[in-house]
Amino acid sequence: MTTRPAPVILWFRRDLRLADNPALNHAAETGRPILPVYIHDMGPGVRRPGAASLWWLDKSLRALDDSLKARGSRLILRSGDSEGELRRLIDETGADAVFMNRLFDPDAFARDADIAHALKEDGVEVKGWNGSLLCRPGGVMTGSGGPYKVFTPFMKALLAKAEAPPHTLGPREIDTPTSVKSEAVDDWSLHPDKPDWSGGFDWTPGEAGASEALSDFLSKGLKTYSVGRDRPGEPGSSRLSPHLHWGELHPWRVVEQVRKAASDGRVPAAEADKFVAELGWRDFSTQLLHHFPRMTDTAFRPEYDAMPWLTDIKGFNAWKKGLTGYPIVDAGMRQLWTTGWMHNRVRMIVASFLVKDLLIDWRKGEAWFWDTLVDADLGNNVQNWQWIAGSSADASPYFRVFNPTTQGAKFDAKGQYVRRWVPEIAALPDKWIHAPWTAPAEVLRDAGIGLGRDYPKPIVDHGEARDRALDALKVVTRSRQPDDDSDRD
């Protein structure tokens, strides 16, 4: 009688795909049965996903299960403490190996290291790979051996050193023992219900949805990406962020396809390069957080923790609800709430408004984004919020204050974006769409708008708020001079 070899546990986390999945490929190479498992661990230690992320997870797990079933396998679902559930599965099945793609967020990384250490002590083989970044943190370091703190040299070094792994589709058949019990995703209540505000989430989570989004972008937005990515009223960016966050496609596949579009002459090379550079911010943010884990809660530049933030509950609520009286800010916050996503240019504008015009701590904004974004990602969210606050490593200086009116006029000149998300002022002519309070009384009357009745008057005067922010900054540093509007590039 032949005994079945001990299975390998394939621990899925934020790598919810079968193609280009190093842990899956290595598990398949062992020739042993594979136990694909996802553990829903909402315990302390690692930041829990926000509500919009859980919405995504719900759908992505179902899609992954379908893909596994098509290969003769299935996704085993367990909930509870990660180490405890892995041990339970090991006891139940006799598995003696755990393969995973690494998470690089500091808390998850530390937890996984503890789990690996403990399991190895008990004779279990534990192995991890990079399946989510162009280059694992630490893969490129400065000449003096430290982590990069400035984006441009980081990206240059990354592109010079890191190599795309070969494209793989994963095994055609996956042998998974049928006797192992799984929980049901329905029982996890990941989809919001009190209230269910996800009616406007127009996304297709999962590997197939990610491929579709990439194809769509290659044939449309990429051609004019460098300009289009800054036009919130047009579909100019890839919208790949939630797919990338959940690991539904490998970033190197994205880079390869984008570069191929350029080498085939379908898009200008400069557009492809610009896109790859933006994608690099994802690696940059993650490696920064990995090397400086305190960044999740404290300013990268510690002097910024002395900022005299205000507790402005009314202002914070107006910001969250999209009722600040600044149309581009309100449009962004409503897009976020309705769709679980916000355009990058507008993320910068609304973040600057919160941190500078309202003088509210960036951590409050980061937490709101964390709960409401389908692409909420610790490295990207924390790094970008600190970038806006001026406290990150390679940050926009604090004295650069985004002017919501001129930003709106520049990047949403015809007001398409604002009209879509702030319909109560849609009838205003373009000239006043980004500053309704400056419109003459008869223009407002003709457009049927009563300011303060149909749409709020600005909750702060931007000029005064800017001066107040710069005053507050004096607490932090007296060495910099005030400047005007900021553009990231």
Helix 313-321 / helix 362-372 crossing angle, nearest 10 deg: 30
Other C-beta atoms closer than 10 Å to the C-beta of 489 total 7
- 244 vs 447, which CB is nearer to ligand FAD? 244
Residue 99, H or E segment: strand 97-101
- 48 vs 87, which CB is nearer to ligand FAD? 48
Q: What's the number of CA atoms in the CB half-sphere (13 Å) around residue 455?
A: 27
CB of 410 to ligand FAD, least distance (A): 17
Distance (Å) of CA 179 to CA 2, 7, 154, 339: 18, 13, 48, 40
CB of 280 to ligand FAD, least distance (A): 8
CB of 373 to ligand FAD, least distance (A): 5
- 78 vs 282, which CB is nearer to ligand FAD? 282
CB–CB of 206/250 below 8 Å? no
Other C-beta atoms closer than 10 Å to the C-beta of 187 total 9
Residues contacting 277, CB < 8 A, separation 6+: 155
Q: Kindly list the residues in this chain that would bind ligand FAD in the complex (CB under 6 A).
A: 229, 237-241, 244-245, 278-279, 281-282, 285, 344, 347-348, 351, 369, 373, 375-377, 380-381, 384-385, 388
CB of 134 to ligand FAD, least distance (A): 11
CB–CB of 300/393 below 8 Å? yes
Residues contacting 223, CB < 8 A, separation 6+: 266, 267, 268, 271
The strand pair at 34-40 and 76-79 is best described as parallel
CB of 335 to ligand FAD, least distance (A): 11
The strand pair at 34-40 and 8-12 is best described as parallel
CB–CB of 176/89 below 8 Å? no
Residue of 103, 73, 44, 247 lying closest to 175 (CA atoms)? 73
- Structure tokens, 355: 């941190």
DSSP 8-state class, residue 357:
I
| String of DSSP letters for 20-76 | T-HHHHHHHHTTS-EEEEEEE--STTSPPP-HHHHHHHHHHHHHHHHHHHHTT---E
Residues contacting 241, CB < 8 A, separation 6+: 341, 375, 377, 380
CB of 365 to ligand FAD, least distance (A): 7
Catalytic residue ranges: 278, 281, 309, 344, 362, 385
CB of 233 to ligand FAD, least distance (A): 14
CB of 439 to ligand FAD, least distance (A): 29
CB–CB of 430/414 below 8 Å? yes
Residues 390 and 359: their CA atoms lie apart, in Å, by 13
Residues 108 and 138: their CA atoms lie apart, in Å, by 17
